[in-house]
Amino acid sequence: MKTQVQTIHPDKVKKVKRYLDALERLQAFKAEHYELFQEFAQLLQEYNAALEDAEKEVRAKGINCGPFTVCGEMTKIDVDKLYDELGEDDFLRVGGSIETKRVLAVDKKKFEALAESGSLPKEVVEACFTKTLKFKAPNKAELP
């Protein structure tokens, strides 16, 4: 059963109205200072490109340099590849382990149908079943 969602005019919801007013002021300010924002956008683009290039270089060289510092070291082992290379017996001998994980799943449509028909105890449905609304909202403002 789909939830009915009411649509209300933004003027009737104080915080939405406040958001729309702020958006309007922000857009007006950006339009009024268009050249400044264009220059700032260019500077940010140059900064981000330089940052990315510098980080790639210090990482590749494995060095500390200026604000770029090594914070530690991580070791990764490709467990699947190790298993394939050694085989099960040697994999276990070098410290490998094989685990079986329990994965629970439920057919959501079947559960919902049973819940709506009253075939499941009300307490179980109330404890295990919730509906939430998914929202699409505007993104936060970023420079520029």
In a domain, 118, yes or no: no
Residue at 112 is within a domain: no
In a domain, 115, yes or no: no
Q: What's the predicted TM-score (pTM) here?
A: 0.59
- 106: pLDDT strictly greater than 60: yes
- Confirm whether 38 is domain-assigned: yes
**Domain-embedded: residue 87:** no
What pLDDT, in 10s, does the model give residues 34-61? 999 899 989 999 999 999 999 999 999 9
Question: Averaged over 77-98, what is the pLDDT?
Answer: 96
For position 144, what pLDDT does the model report?
57
Report the candidate in 66, 39, 43, 38 with the shortest Cα–Cα distance to residue 54. Answer: 66
Q: How far is CA 77 from the centre of its chain?
A: 26
Domain that holds residue 63: 8-71
In a domain, 124, yes or no: no
Tally of domains in the chain: 1
Q: Is residue 129 part of a domain?
A: no
The verdict on residue 39 lying in a domain is yes
Q: Are 36 and 30 in contact (CB under 8 A)?
A: no
